[in-house]
Structures are given as structure tokens and as C-alpha cells.
Amino acid sequence: MHRVTLLPGDGIGPEITAATIVVLEAAGVELQWERFEAVGLAGMERYGRPLPEAVLDSIRMNRVALKGPITTPVGKGFRSVNVSLRQKLDLFANVRPCRKLPGLRTPFEDVDLVIFRENTEGLYSGIETYDERLEIADSTARITRRGSQRILRFAFEWARVNGRRHVTAVHKANVVKMSTGLFLKEAIAMASAYPDLDFDHRIVDNMAMQLVQRPAEYDCIVTTNLFGDILSDLCAGLVGGLGVVPGANIGDSVAVFEAVHGSAPDIAGQGTANPTALIRTAAMMLRHLGERTAAETIEAALRQAYVEGCWLTPDVGGSSTTMDFAHRLAERVASKQGEA
């Protein structure tokens, strides 16, 4: 039995979370959820805080959480709960595997990228000021040597353990010489400790162009917070969109699993969001919990669903609802579990 903190989130969050739980139940893993609904705007309304301390305590205690997206007010209001959570729990590595599902029609056949996004510093450090008199806004992109080293080590280790060949560090050290220059310097130093892996580095704007023209030439990408945020949505676009790409926030002792996408207010409440990204995220969580067979069963059922191409959601060319997709997938998962 695994105790897991569950944050369904808002927008499409509760819909895709319900769908994911249906699939997890079919996989037969015993999960005991500690559920928190009042986070983000709902937390503000109920407790006057977007991220109640009880949520952090629960995640620290259980060491694992599954999280739906949480809406952040734009340009004003409370700080992003998603960013706060990563910083308060020191979840320094954001891992986002972008791999095409068979059957999905995308511009490239053989994209299989993993983005390692530094998750606690850079332009998301939260060091921001506004000088009313001079009308000047500052946001500090703080990068530390230690912060760079740990995400780089994490990426190289992950690449080695998972049989990957190639790591690319992405930066903007030609212009932003101090902060991303430090990251690049540490990347080059770290690469020398991994002679078994190919290493190169790219300036972020060029990288964006390379990724839309020749994505198959890249394998693992490690980068600072903002660049990782942007490039992971770009890479999601290469493999079928935000509806299908999972993610994990990993620290030394705690992990919070969440998809790349946000709360999708444009489709929230319609029951048509794609739960695939969160279901793949849950499969990553199962691997983390040592439940490899269940994770593989879910991943195999997903591949089968996409090859067959029926009962998919609208974002990937189908016309099914979130829950229809989940129930059909759950049937496949349960029958595969029966065979195993």
C-alpha cells in the first residue's frame, strides 16, 4: 500500500484526475490518497492561502504526490503555487519525456527527447521588484553553481542509467553572460565526468529552430528554468501536444508528479480534456514507487489505444470525452493485468 498526496488542481485538473484514478484502479496498485482540493484560488477562498502548510506537510510525509494543474493569475495576485511547491520542497529536477505515441499523426516519426529543466532558480527565483517612482521593473535570474551542478549531475546520471547516448546543454551565455554563462561552464565541466555520453551545447534560440527542423538528432536536453519551460511546450508540440506529455518534479527525498500542461481554461468543464498526459505521469509515479509491471501495463494499453485510434479525445483528432477514454483504457488495463 502506497500513501500518496493528491492535488487534483483546478480547470481541467479535477476531470483528468478522476480519469487517471479510474485507470490506476484498473491497474490494481493499492494507493491510498491524501486529497487536497483547496489549493490555488480555492485555497485563497477557503484558508486565505494559495498553498496551505498542510499540503506541504502531507507531501513531505508521504514523499510522493500526484498533482493536477493549478491556475495562476497573470501579472498580479498570488505567486504561482506550482513554482512555490517546487521551491519549498526543493524539487530541483523537472523531467519531461517527450515521446511520440504510435498512431498519432505528427510532423516527425522518431522524436524521443527528455527535457531536464532546472526547477528552483533562474528567472523563476521570485526576486522581483517594481520601483514606482522610476517605473522600473526588475526580475532577477539568479543561478547558483550548486543549483547548476545538481541539475546537470541529475541529467547525466539519468541519461547513463536509462541507456541514453547524448546530452545537450542549452543556454544563452553569449548575451546573458553571468547567469547562463555559469550554467554553461558547469555543464562543460560536468560532461568531462561522463566520457561515455556524447555532449554538446546550444544557444537557446538556435536550439528552438533545430528542434522544429531536426528533433531526432537530439536526445537529452538540460537547461535553466525558463528555457526548460518554453522548450518543453515546444517539444510537446512535436509529439502530439500538451495533452500527451508527462512530467515529474524530483528532489532528494520527495517527488511531485505533474503533466507539462496547465489548467486549460479554454476547455475546462467540457469533459473533453485529454487525460493521457496525467495518465503517463501516473505511470512515471508508479515506476518511482517500484510498481514497474503496473506502469508498463498502463503504457502498453495507451500505445494500443493510440494505434487503434478510436475513442481518443478531440485534441488528438478523436471525439471522445475524458471519462469515455478513461473507462475504455481502464478495460484494456484490467484485461492486460488479468493476462499477466
Tell me the catalytic residues. 124, 172, 205, 229
Helix or strand run (H / E) with residue 201: strand 198-203
- CA 249 to the chain's CA centroid: 7
* Closest distance of CB 15 from ligand NAI, Å: 9
The footprint of Mg ion on this chain (CB under 5 A) covers a number of residues equal to: 1
Contact 129, 137 (CB under 8 A): yes
312 binds ligand NAI (CB under 6 A): no
For ligand NAI, the binding residue among 261, 280, 332, 336 (CB under 6 A) is 261
Stretch of 22-30, 154-162, 270-278, 290-298 lying at the interface with ligand NAI (CB under 6 A): 270-278
| One-letter amino acid of 32 | Q
The whole-angstrom separation of Cα 143 and Cα 128 is 15
For ligand NAI, the binding residue among 258, 283, 285, 320 (CB under 6 A) is 258
For ligand NAI, the binding residue among 155, 190, 207, 277 (CB under 6 A) is 277
Which of ligand NAI, Mg ion, none does residue 229 bind (CB under 5 to 8 Å by kind)?
Mg ion
Contact 227, 94 (CB under 8 A): no
Q: For 174, which DSSP code?
A: T
Which of Mg ion, ligand NAI, none does residue 118 bind (CB under 5 to 8 Å by kind)?
none
Nearer to ligand NAI, 173 or 264 (CB): 264
Nearer to ligand NAI, 221 or 264 (CB): 264
Place of cell 505528427: 106
Stretch of 27-35, 50-58, 63-71, 189-197 lying at the interface with ligand NAI (CB under 6 A): 63-71
Which residues inside 202-231 make contact with Mg ion, applying CB under 5 A? Answer: 229
Decide: residue 293, CB within 10 A, 0-12 exposed, 13-18 middle, 19+ buried.
middle
For ligand NAI, the binding residue among 190, 297, 315, 330 (CB under 6 A) is 315
The footprint of ligand NAI on this chain (CB under 6 A) covers a number of residues equal to: 21
Nearer to ligand NAI, 82 or 87 (CB): 82
DSSP code per residue over 6-46? EE--STTHHHHHHHHHHHHHHHT--EEEEE----THHHHHH
The whole-angstrom separation of Cα 166 and Cα 168 is 7
Which of ligand NAI, Mg ion, none does residue 264 bind (CB under 5 to 8 Å by kind)?
ligand NAI
Task: Give first-to-last CA distance, the chain, whole Å.
Answer: 20
242 binds ligand NAI (CB under 6 A): yes
Contact 244, 316 (CB under 8 A): yes
Which of Mg ion, ligand NAI, none does residue 258 bind (CB under 5 to 8 Å by kind)?
ligand NAI
How many CB atoms lie under 10 A from the CB of residue 315?
Answer: 18
